[in-house]
Amino acid sequence: MARKKKHGPHENHERWLVSYADFITLLFAFFVVMFASSQTDKGKAQQVSESVKQALEKGHFQTLVAAVLGGTTGDRGQGNAQMKGPGGASQIFLGGKAPGRGEDLGGGSQADLKAALAILAQELAEELKAGKMAVSLEPRGLVVSLREAAFFPSGEATISQANIASIDKLAVVIKRLTNPIRMEGHTDSVPIHNERFRSNWELSAARAIAMLELFAGRYGVPRSRMSIAAYADNAPADTNDTEEGRARNRRVDIVLLSEVGVRAEPHTVEAETAAAKPKSAARH
């Protein structure tokens, strides 16, 4: 009696649906985060992003979602980023574990800046809540905005000592990175003309210089690592039509430049010489 020929297991031709479902979920997460990043209400945007992240990470899409929402601090170069200039909207980066208080933050890559952002959000929680400072991560670097009302008398470029302890906390984190630093002075659109300053250009430049001198003298940050920029009222963070908006525009931005931001800086002879050296010679 002939035996029946056994047939192999039936091949599943619908396996592609699993990958397709993963892709659609990832795409949905991406557009939600992009939508949240574009919102002017940063508190609401943060809530939306956190809700989506928590919901998705409870399923089996955690790895894929993490790649879009920021990954860990070791995932260099990942995370959503929207190109903004001075005064642009803050970016939302989710996920990642920041180094401890005593650990080195690394060589200043985008991942290192994300770690620094997480630490600053914790260390400067009181200042951020009070509106004295604002912190954002942009393609050009990590931006810490110091509001005039907390750090400068109106119409002056002398740094107030009332909140110097807040700058002390900021300096501790900045010194753990190697990024070049740019001090950017900003004003509102109301013209100034007094005995010392003939225009908003001079006031914004003087405040940027004052911040550079503070970091060089009080905290020992090398001057060769720093630069200044003055924007007057040409890079507002908010509208100049209201007093609240003008108050936000009067600020000094301390920017820890990323690799993207450094490309816009002038090339120094030292940097060009170091780049031209063979790698074997550079190690000696």
Say yes or no: 192 and 53 in one domain.
no
Say yes or no: 37 and 91 in one domain.
no
We report the CATH number of the domain holding residue 274 as 3.30.1330.60
State the total domains in the chain: 2
Say yes or no: 209 and 242 in one domain.
yes
Distance CA 41, CA 269 (A): 44
Distance CA 211, CA 166 (A): 13
Q: Amino acid identity, residue 22?
A: D
Task: Assign 26 to helix, strand or coil.
Answer: helix
Domain that holds residue 183: 76-282
The per-residue pLDDT string of the chain (284 residues; one tens digit each, 9 = 90 and over) reads: 556 555 556 666 666 666 777 778 778 777 776 776 665 555 555 665 565 555 555 443 443 333 333 333 333 333 333 333 454 433 333 223 344 444 455 555 677 888 899 999 999 999 999 999 999 999 999 999 999 999 999 999 999 999 999 999 999 999 988 899 999 999 999 999 888 999 999 999 999 999 999 999 999 999 999 999 999 999 999 999 999 999 999 999 999 999 888 887 776 655 555 455 554 444 44
What's this model's pTM, rounded to 2 decimal places?
A: 0.60
Residue labelled with tokens 């509001």: 147
Which alpha helices (DSSP H) does the chain contain, by range? Answer: 16-37, 42-57, 62-69, 110-123, 125-130, 148-151, 164-174, 200-217, 243-249, 259-263, 269-276, 279-282
Q: Which among 229, 230, 232 is positioned nearest to 199, based on CA atoms?
A: 232
Say yes or no: 99 and 232 in one domain.
yes
* Start-to-end C-alpha separation, the chain: 83
Distance CA 109, CA 7 (A): 57
* Residue 19 CA to its chain's centroid (Å): 33
Q: Which among 172, 152, 173 is positioned nearest to 252, based on CA atoms?
A: 152
- Tell me the CA distances in angstroms from 94 to 36, 37, 50, 80, one per residue in order: 12, 12, 8, 9
